[in-house]
């Protein structure tokens, strides 16, 4: 194929593959695919073959594209470079080092490959890296950070601000609905409503780091790195607390430990079935719509690797990254969630992280004997309250 023909072929192949995924839908139901023939396994194999053809065709196109680029680049070269007026190629004189000149001399050539014992010269020390001139090595600017969990839990939790040392709100604790059809002159049904003031404490999350004056003065960029790492430490702690905190001051409330949180055991059910039962409890008992499912990576792996009886992956082909969604609800895979337990909840509508004061840094040499030893104490903290407005809008699924 020509370069143009190969590009047109690639576009057509991409469109055909996309059509298959569109027909299969987000649940990868290949029984809905009409553009391919055969059973589910045959359709998956054909799709994999089409994907392989696309990859090979892309490689051929890239090779042709490079040849085309090289041809245009070479065609633009100035063919007169390095030539004299008479057309002869100009040769630049080659200068030889003293060592090169000696090796090419008659005396030097006679010594090639021979051990030489030069009379009158006493070799005291062999010049080598350990006792001579160690090659200069410049350290790169890369800093490989210590392995830590990825953040992402707070992306699913709304945030607001509050004042004072606690967040107060009113909770409807009585709701009696006696609305009913009434005949002319009949008695109206009496309703009842009651509200209770509820509050959640604002807690402080903090960390500090000791460091010498010289480290801060002599290492360009170290201050920025410290700011980034201490900030991460605070955010990581908050993400852990909003899922697993016990609410006993100074801990924040975690969804897993709410006093009236719902619970669903996996038992003999499959993990997807148990998760759907948890979703149903949030909807039927908590009267809320789940916005996210938090799962540990090891638990999500068990779901992602589920296959049909004939070996077809239910949650998408291994060729695909896969959609982190189950029963239409987004899944946040995080190591901050307790392993073997998933949390299903209406976080978007019935929870909020209220920030009393955002992340703040302070530096001082007044700690202990730091002043006379040239040390600094860098502290970093924030104040916040994690509020869950309706406990029954959340359900933990255990034993997965």
Which residue stretches of the chain are H helix? 3-24, 40-75, 98-104, 106-111, 213-218, 222-244, 271-284, 297-304, 347-350, 370-373
Cis preceding-peptide flag for 304 (omega within 30 of 0): no
Measure the CA–CA gap between 400 and 397, rounded to whole angstroms.
Answer: 7
Is the predicted pLDDT of residue 365 greater than 80, yes or no? yes
Contact indicator for 364, 357 with CB cutoff of 8 Å: no
Whether the predicted pLDDT of 377 surpasses 60: yes
Q: What is the pLDDT of residue 97?
A: 64
Report the pLDDT value the prediction gives residue 169, as an integer from 0 to 100. Answer: 95
pTM of the model: 0.67
Can you tell me the distance from the alpha carbon of 397 to that of 267, in angstroms, rounded to the nearest whole number? Answer: 10
* 14-24 pLDDT per residue, tens: 888 888 888 88
CB 395 within 8 A of CB 262: yes
Tell me the per-residue pLDDT of 222-232, one tens digit each, with 9 for 90 and over: 999 999 999 99
Q: Domain 153-165+202-398, what architecture? A: 2-Layer Sandwich (3.30)
Is pLDDT larger for residue 165 or for residue 40?
Answer: 165
Note whether 400 and 274 are within 8 A (CB): yes
Q: What is the DSSP letter of 314?
A: T
pLDDT tops 90 at residue 285: yes
Contact predicate 278/327, CB 8 Å: no
pLDDT band at 9 (very low <50, low <70, confident <90, very high): confident
Q: How far is CA 374 from the centre of its chain?
A: 39
Mean of the pLDDT values across residues 307-318? 89
> How is the chain split into domains, by residue range?
3-56, 153-165+202-398
Q: According to the model, what pLDDT value does residue 135 have?
A: 79
pLDDT of residue 269: 95
Q: How confident is the model at residue 386 (pLDDT cuts 50, 70, 90)?
A: very high
- Looking at every residue in the chain, the average pLDDT score rounds to 87
Q: What is the distance between the alpha carbons of residues 148 and 296, in angstroms, rounded to a whole number?
A: 15
Whether 327 shows a pLDDT value over 90: the answer reads yes
Which has more confidence, 81 or 298? 298
Per-residue model confidence (pLDDT) at position 294: 98
pLDDT confidence of residue 81: 47
Q: Which residue has the higher pLDDT, 245 or 103?
A: 245
Summarised one tens digit per residue, pLDDT across range 102-137 is: 567 766 666 566 655 555 555 566 777 676 677 788
pLDDT in tens, 168-202: 999 999 999 999 999 999 999 999 999 999 999 99
pLDDT band at 96 (very low <50, low <70, confident <90, very high): low
What is the rounded average pLDDT of the residues 328-352?
Answer: 97
What pLDDT is attached to residue 80?
A: 47
326: nearest Cα among 273, 262, 284, 396: 273
pLDDT for 65: 80
What pLDDT, in 10s, does the model give residues 262-274? 999 999 999 999 9
Tell me the pLDDT tens digit for each residue of 130-150.
766 777 888 888 888 989 999
């Amino acid at each position: 194929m020509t370069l143009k023909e190969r590009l047109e072929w690639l576009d057509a192949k991409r469109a055909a593959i996309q059509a298959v995924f569109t027909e299969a839908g987000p649940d990868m139901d290949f029984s809905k695919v009409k553009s391919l023939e055969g059973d589910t396994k045959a359709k998956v194999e054909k799709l994999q073959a089409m994907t392989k053809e696309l990859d090979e065709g892309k490689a051929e196109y890239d090779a042709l594209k490079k040849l085309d680029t090289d041809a245009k680049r070479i065609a633009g070269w100035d063919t007169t470079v390095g030539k004299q007026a008479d057309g002869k190629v100009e040769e630049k004189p080659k200068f030889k080092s003293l060592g090169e000149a000696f090796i090419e001399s008659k005396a030097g050539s006679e010594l090639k490959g021979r051990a030489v014992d030069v009379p009158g010269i006493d070799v005291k020390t062999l010049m080598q890296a350990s006792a001579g001139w160690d090659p200069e090595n410049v350290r790169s600017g890369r800093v490989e950070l210590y392995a830590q969990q990825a953040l992402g839990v707070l992306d699913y939790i709304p945030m607001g601000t509050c004042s004072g040392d606690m967040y107060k709100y009113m909770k409807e604790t009585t709701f009696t609905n006696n609305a009913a059809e009434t005949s002319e002159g009949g008695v109206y049904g009496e309703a009842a409503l009651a509200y209770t003031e509820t509050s959640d404490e604002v807690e402080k999350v903090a960390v500090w780091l000791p460091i010498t004056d010289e480290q801060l003065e002599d290492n360009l960029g170290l201050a920025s790195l410290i700011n980034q790492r201490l900030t991460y430490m605070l955010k990581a702690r908050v993400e852990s607390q909003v899922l697993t905190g016990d609410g006993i001051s100074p801990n924040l409330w975690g969804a897993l430990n709410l006093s009236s949180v719902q619970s669903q055991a996996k038992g003999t059910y499959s993990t997807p079935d148990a998760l759907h039962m948890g979703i149903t409890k949030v909807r039927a008992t908590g009267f809320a719509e789940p916005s996210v499912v938090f799962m540990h990576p090891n638990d999500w792996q068990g779901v992602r690797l589920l296959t049909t009886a004939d070996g077809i992956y239910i949650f998408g082909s291994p060729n695909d990254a896969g959609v982190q969604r189950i029963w239409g609800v987004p899944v946040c895979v995080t190591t901050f969630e307790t392993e073997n337990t998933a949390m299903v909840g209406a976080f978007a509508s019935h929870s909020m992280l209220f920030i009393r004061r955002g992340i703040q840094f302070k530096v001082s040499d007044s700690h202990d004997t730091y002043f006379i030893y040239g040390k600094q104490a860098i502290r970093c903290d924030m104040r916040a309250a994690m509020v869950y407005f309706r406990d029954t809008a959340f359900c933990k699924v255990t034993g997965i």
